[in-house]
A = this chain, B = another copy of it.
Amino acid sequence: NSYRIASIPGDGIGLEVVSATIQVIEKLAKTLGTFNINFEHIPWGTAYYKQTGRYVSEDYLDTLRRYDAILFGAVGSPDVPDHISLWGLLLALRGPLQLYANVRPVRTFPGTKCPLNTARNGIDWILVRENSEGEYAGQGGRSHIGQQWEAATEVALFTRVGIERIMRFAFETARSRPRKFLTVVTKSNSMRNGMVLWDEIAGLVAKDFPDVSWDKMLVDAMTVRMVMKPESLDTIVGTNLHMDILSDLAAALAGSIGVAPSSNLDPTRKSPSIFEPVHGSAFDITGKGVANPVATFWSAAEMLIWIGEKDAAAQLMGCVERVCAKGILTRDLGGSSDTQGVVDAVCLEIEKL
């Protein structure tokens, strides 16, 4: 039970929330005494880029394959165009490592206020995002740059393999939950190729899961259902872009993007999976010590589950929820604590275990 974790804090508040999380996880490991965990710092990000011209080292995929998992902070800096920084680091990992399942649990969390008055019993969803192709396949181009007749394309690429594997993963996720219910999101009324293929494959894969009930939604109508009938949903699957959008919406509807975690999984376990908060580098609050570390705590808990430490993950989440329920919260949630204050409170809870 000894794990090697690569920690890539990246940019902005990534450094603060990852360092906060390492403190908490090390405390947890020491207190429980049931597993060992070692974090090794990898300095990739915008500072590294400014020194070397690259966001990652040349042998970065091999480097990462030596680890059991990766804890990631954020990437993005005001002085580099976002499409350079994102494709330089985060998107250079998700696709090439074939981390095809991005999993985003969303639920009303102690200390956050749900902005909806339609969710009487709270929200409890799992969003499964295809994470290796689709709108993020990186295809497309620009021609006649600067001319009046300039034309540019963004090409979303979908493969049968890519769709089928995420669909199986989503049905399995739905099956593992009490309601056993999956909603498949597409936009096959206006998009007649890849989106129709999604619909077809959903129908085929569903046959292997007779115990899971499912339905289909168009991505636009899905936003209405999330707002108006949040309790009618449970597990949700969709394309890379659609779920990028819907997962931010989901986090907001549940009360805060500041607690939303995300797992980038290779379900075949050939590559190490990446665990990261959904929020970004947030340069407006960087360096002030006020970043909300809860999304990264939760991401680390998902990491513990993935590497096999389910009980430790449950203990951690219990401690975090108790701290939040007591109102020990950062400012984004209306509290008055700073990052270290939340870390200390969680460590204190861990000591009581």
Contacts and interface: CB of A to CB of B under 8 A. Distances in A.
A151 B157 contact: yes
B149 A153 contact: no
B194 A153 contact: yes
Contacts of A81: 196
A266 interface: no
Nearest to A118: B115
18 contacts: A76-B189, A86-B190, A87-B190, A91-B190, A116-B116, A117-B117, A136-B190, A148-B161, A151-B157, A151-B158, A152-B197, A153-B155, A153-B156, A154-B155, A154-B156, A155-B156, A223-B252, A227-B253
A124 interface: no
A257 to B, nearest CB: 6
Interface string A149-188: 1111111111111000000000000000000000000011
Contacts of A253: 227
A148 B91 CA distance: 25
Nearest to A113: B117
Nearest to A243: B220
A142 B193 contact: yes
A224 B115 CA distance: 11
A253 B81 CA distance: 32
Given A156-B156, A187-B241, A252-B227, A192 B83 contact: yes
A147 interface: yes
